Amino acid sequence: MTDQPPAVPASPAEPAAEPEYDWSGYGFDTRQIHAGEYADPVAGARIPPIALSAGYRFDSWDDGRERFAGESEGLIYSRQRNPSGSVAERRIASLEGGTDAIVVSSGQAAITAALFALVRSGERFVSTASIYSGTRILFGRSFERMGVGVDYVWNPDDDDEWERRIGPSTKAIFTETIPNPKNDIVDIDRVAAVAARHGIPLVVDNTIATPYLIRPGEHGAAVVVHSSTKFLSGHGAAISGTIVDTGVFDWAAASRSYPLITQPPAPGGRSMLERFPAAPYGRATRDAVVNDIGPALSPFTSFLLHQGIETLSLRMDRHLSNAATIAAWLETHPGVESVDYAGLPSSPYSALAQRLYGGLTGSVFAVTVRGGEAGARRFTDRLRVISRMTNIGDVRSMALHPATTTHLSFSEELRLALGVTPGLIRLSIGTETVDDLIADLDRALRP
């Protein structure tokens, strides 16, 4: 009989590590994929399931009361919050460095809710003049009908003009990081300093830059909004908007009154600032504006949004590279009068573009072709790869003639003051092969 070595007792198996769900401290690319996820307790689905439910069961009488009183984070109704929307909200808040986010049905809904949480009938806010045409129309039509006024600053670098526009009833400042279509970028630090000097919150539309290029909260913005239809979703399949509470504004020390945030919503209750000190603006906007008006985002669109965000940095790299290459090529073309792209060395915004964006100022900019409106018509109708359509921030490249579309309702005087001339074309550069886009543009520009 052969001697056998003594049996070695089997060591206990090491427990499997639990999946990560706290993504703070991880890199941007990791957070855009994972932030906001939650464990599926039913099937262990790796992708958060689409929560197609209007309402949610209460565990008990007391649980229902606690949810409505804001003492519990349990869900109530999908007009206020939905699990699919929450994934997108937590993901965007993480990427923007915010403390809370709310997804809504469109970018216009986001801007409306963001400002209605701050400004009441009879009050005003100040905006930079060069902003998206649809936002200008919103301010001049619907906001005016609600009794909310806007004052425009035409030169954001002129402190005296800011002082003339900001009055006792001014409750907020609104601006865009990269305006559309002129790419006339704003010095966000300067505007934030104006807001801080007056003790009022700064609301910034970061749609075109996205948090991949800049996070306005790091520059002093209290609120960030997105038309997340655009680059965040990235594929032109559905409309959505987002509001982010950056957590940087001191609402208790504000020089003006913001009752939705600092006053109790019901007798004997506590204010949003007392109950949610890290994100009082976000909670007030969700509960007292979005919940009341009802621009809820559908669970399916929420799913498309957080799916799109997963590839944001990859798409943005191609958008930015293509746009910079095409802007430089267009500037040398004999069929072009001018190119409004702040990243070009010839641009008056070049130094600011380098400081804020490393010279890559998004992928939405304007080109003015020779021949005025007739030249613009000829150019547009010759395009074969680039789509003739409204929208921006899609993986597909698009071209639009603002003077006869987005800015059609403006007076000629206002259009020209905004730099929207008859020969100006807005380009949204997508992620196609750049040589194919250049060939399409060259064909369209030939005499």
Mean pLDDT in consecutive groups of 10 residues from the start of the chain, 447 residues: 65 86 95 94 90 94 90 90 96 98 98 98 98 97 97 97 97 98 97 97 98 98 98 97 98 95 89 95 96 96 97 98 98 98 98 98 98 98 98 97 96 96 98 98 96
Domain of 441, in residue numbers: 312-445
Q: What is the pLDDT of residue 266?
A: 81
> Which residue, among 136, 139, 183, has the nearest Cα to 411 in the 3D structure?
136
Q: Does any domain span residue 240?
A: yes
Of 309, 334, 368, the residue that ends a domain is 309
354 and 305: one domain?
A: no
For residue 78, what are the contacts with CB-CB under 8 A and spacing of at least 6?
Answer: 51, 53, 54, 55, 85, 296, 299
224 and 296: one domain?
A: yes
Q: Does any domain span residue 63?
A: no
295 and 322: one domain?
A: no
E strand or H helix at 387? strand 387-388
304 and 316: one domain?
A: no
Of 288, 309, 330, the residue that ends a domain is 309
CATH for 331: 3.90.1150.10
285 and 335: one domain?
A: no
Omega cis (within 30) before 216: no
187 and 329: one domain?
A: no
162 and 128: one domain?
A: yes
Rounded Cα distance between 303 and 280, Å, is 26
Q: What is the pLDDT of residue 9?
A: 66
Q: Does any domain span residue 375?
A: yes
E strand or H helix at 405? none
Q: What is the pLDDT of residue 429?
A: 98
328 and 366: one domain?
A: yes
**What three-state secondary structure class fits 356?**
helix
Q: Does any domain span residue 75?
A: no
87 and 187: one domain?
A: yes
321 and 288: one domain?
A: no
Q: Does any domain span residue 12?
A: no
Q: What is the pLDDT of residue 10?
A: 66
Of 274, 309, 344, the residue that ends a domain is 309
289 and 346: one domain?
A: no
Q: What are the tokens at 92?
A: 């965007």
